[in-house]
Chain A
Amino acid sequence: MMKSPKTLQSKGSLRIQTPFFLFLLVSFACSEKRDVINDSAKEGLIQTTIDTVFVEPTQSSQLGTFYLKDDALFYVDNAYGIIEEFSIEGRSKGIKKRELDGPEELQGISELIPTKAGFIIRHDWGFYQYDSEWEYVGKSVFQSASTVSYEEMLDNPKGEYIEMYELLHHNPKTTEIADGHLVIKLDVEHPLFNAFTTRSYYRDSRVLGKVNPFNGMMVEMLGTRPDSYEEYEYIPFHVMLDYHWTSDNSIYVTYEADSLIYVYDTSWNLKDSFGEAGIGMNTDYVESQTLDVAFDVKYFNYARNREGFYKDIYVDEEEGLVFRTYRQGSDRQDLLDETGNPLRLQIYRNKKLMEDFSVPGRFRILGKVGERYVADGYYDEQNEKQGFYLLNLN
């Protein structure tokens, strides 16, 4: 039988009320907002719900990214240069790293890379290594050895010239693979070999690189783009891709302008391909033919905000599930960035599309904790709120 508040007051049991209100306070502080956004329950395939777990960082600009290591979440605030750990329930476990704090003189944080030994913080092209207690271990800078003369590289660039390549800046993803190397996304901006004016770029430029984290040296380049990129002349703002390198060394890749998901081995031999086109995507890409396009941000914004493209991929090896997001494209002209471009999530089981549904604009699966998938991220600058998502499949 429930007691009324009056009954509790009449007994003057402050000792009972205080823990009760504390419990309520904690409950609300870490409250989960559930958005049932899957409308396909009627089909009886996979029922999905997305919970939002709000967090209250010690210091936040709401310009950040969540990263997952095992069952711990790390919020990286890029503006403040802070890394704070959170539990899966959204409780803070304290600030773990600040820029300019320590012997390494970390100047900023571009990306956090969880590793077997601890963590690597990437700042621009620098890799700062830490153990699992965040003790500084060492630093390296991205570099690549020369394979040809400087003049040859300048005058006669070819896709295999490793020294031309940079780390891709847009939507980066650096991961550690089982042999200890880091895998990075590549970019090349050579005046005679680039996505804006060079057709051979689309056939020959490499897409991933393997980097030795201890000296920053790129030791190998992997992959080229699929033949589907022959359908276009120049679509420089949709040459990006995303990958998931599985524990059995299969590399799942989704390219922005290709509806297929490709599966390669480590020698980039095609093992499999599958996938279906997204719903209502604007793939009538505006093509470009001059380098001037690279210098005017309005072309970039148009491609990212108005056009549709495939985005991120995550593979659940145990369950045989593949998750792939895509943006549909938008007619809205007031979008500040691509996060306002509608995003949807496809779920494949055994290569068969099971679900395709709308997700929040910055939704990106980071990993799995228990039965739930953890995803980045909810950011509301105006109301100073932020959090991460938990995707549930039934």
Chain B
Amino acid sequence: MRQTSITKPNRFKMKFNVSLLIAGLFCLSFFPSTRTTAQDATVIKAIADAAIEIGKSIDSSCDKKRPENGFTACKGGDCLPAKCISFRSRCDNGTCG
């Protein structure tokens, strides 16, 4: 008896909570993600524009020529990232002489 009297309100609460959860998820589904909502519309547009630009870019671009870890070149004694066209000497082994 005692157990039943406690269980009933809990079941009601659970149902209510589940309903709230479903309603919340339904509302959230209108938003792509919480992170996206925090971004300005300009950034979203920029992302879309950038994606188009990537699509436009040709296969022989400088960035696409770089290996997985990128090009590196000696700058002031340090081995640092560089573009494929850099006039500096390469240091793909990670060290500058």
A156 CB to closest chain B CB, in angstroms? Answer: 12
Q: Which residue of A lies closest to B84 (CB)?
A: A150
> Do the beta carbons of A181 and B88 come within 8 Å of each other?
no
Interfacial residues of chain A within 207-243, with CB under 8 A of chain B in the complex: 212, 214-215, 217, 219
Contact of B42 among A154, A170, A179, A190 (CB under 8 A): A179
How would residues 46 to 90 of chain B score, 1 for a CB under 8 Å from any chain A CB and 0 otherwise? Answer: 110111011011101111010000100101111011110111110
> Do the beta carbons of A215 and B47 come within 8 Å of each other?
yes
Contact of B63 among A144, A178, A194, A219 (CB under 8 A): A144
Contact of B57 among A117, A146, A190 (CB under 8 A): A146
How far apart sit A116 and B37, CA to CA, in the bound complex (Å)? 13
Contact of B86 among A142, A143, A189 (CB under 8 A): A189
Of the listed residues B65, B70, B75, B82, the one surrounded by the most CB atoms of chain A closer than 10 A to its CB is B75
Residue A287 is within 8 A (CB to CB) of chain B in the complex:
no
Contacts of B50 in A (CB 8 A): 145, 212, 215, 217, 219
Using known A-B contacts A137-B35, A145-B61, A163-B63, determine if residue A212 contacts B43 with beta carbons closer than 8 Å. yes
Using known A-B contacts A150-B62, A291-B87, A297-B76, determine if residue A145 contacts B56 with beta carbons closer than 8 Å. yes
> Do the beta carbons of A190 and B85 come within 8 Å of each other?
yes
Contacts of A291 in B (CB 8 A): 87
Using known A-B contacts A164-B83, A179-B40, A297-B77, determine if residue A149 contacts B58 with beta carbons closer than 8 Å. yes
Contacts of A137 in B (CB 8 A): 35
Residue B5 is within 8 A (CB to CB) of chain A in the complex:
no
How far apart sit A170 and B80, CA to CA, in the bound complex (Å)? 11
Of the listed residues A167, A219, A291, A300, the one surrounded by the most CB atoms of chain B closer than 10 A to its CB is A219
Q: How large is the interface on A (under 10, 10 to 19, 20 to 34, 35 or more residues)?
A: 35 or more
Contacts of B43 in A (CB 8 A): 179-181, 212, 214
How far apart sit A219 and B52, CA to CA, in the bound complex (Å)? 11
Q: Which residue of A lies closest to B64 (CB)?
A: A146
> Do the beta carbons of B88 and A153 come within 8 Å of each other?
no
Contacts of B6 in A (CB 8 A): none
Of the listed residues A167, A212, A297, the one surrounded by the most CB atoms of chain B closer than 10 A to its CB is A212
Residue A191 is within 8 A (CB to CB) of chain B in the complex:
yes
A-B contact count (CB 8 A): 109
> Do the beta carbons of B62 and A212 come within 8 Å of each other?
no
Interfacial residues of chain A within 269-325, with CB under 8 A of chain B in the complex: 291, 294-295, 297, 300
How would residues 159 to 190 of chain A score, 1 for a CB under 8 Å from any chain B CB and 0 otherwise? Answer: 00001111101100000001111000000111
Residue B39 is within 8 A (CB to CB) of chain A in the complex:
yes
Q: Which residue of B lies closest to A218 (CB)?
A: B50
Contact of A125 among B49, B58, B70, B73 (CB under 8 A): B70
Of the listed residues A143, A215, A295, the one surrounded by the most CB atoms of chain B closer than 10 A to its CB is A143
> Do the beta carbons of B61 and A163 come within 8 Å of each other?
yes
Contact of A166 among B61, B78, B82 (CB under 8 A): B82
> Do the beta carbons of B57 and A212 come within 8 Å of each other?
no
Contact of A149 among B53, B60, B81 (CB under 8 A): B60
Contacts of B62 in A (CB 8 A): 144, 146, 150, 153, 163-164
Residue B38 is within 8 A (CB to CB) of chain A in the complex:
yes
B51 CB to closest chain A CB, in angstroms? Answer: 8
Between-chain CB contacts (< 8 Å), 26 pairs = A117-B35, A146-B58, A149-B58, A150-B58, A150-B60, A150-B65, A151-B60, A153-B62, A153-B85, A154-B85, A165-B83, A169-B80, A179-B40, A180-B39, A180-B42, A189-B82, A189-B83, A191-B85, A194-B87, A212-B43, A212-B47, A214-B43, A215-B54, A217-B53, A219-B53, A291-B87
Given A150-B61, A300-B76, 20 additional A-B pairs, CB 8 A: A116-B38, A124-B70, A125-B70, A143-B63, A144-B62, A146-B57, A146-B58, A150-B62, A154-B85, A167-B81, A181-B46, A189-B82, A189-B83, A212-B46, A212-B50, A214-B43, A215-B47, A217-B53, A219-B49, A294-B88
Shortest Cβ-Cβ A-B pairs, 7 listed: A146-B61, A180-B43, A145-B57, A217-B50, A145-B53, A150-B60, A179-B42
Q: Which residues of A contact B (CB under 8 A)?
A: 116-117, 124-125, 137, 141-146, 149-151, 153-154, 163-167, 169-170, 178-181, 188-191, 194, 212, 214-215, 217, 219, 291, 294-295, 297, 300
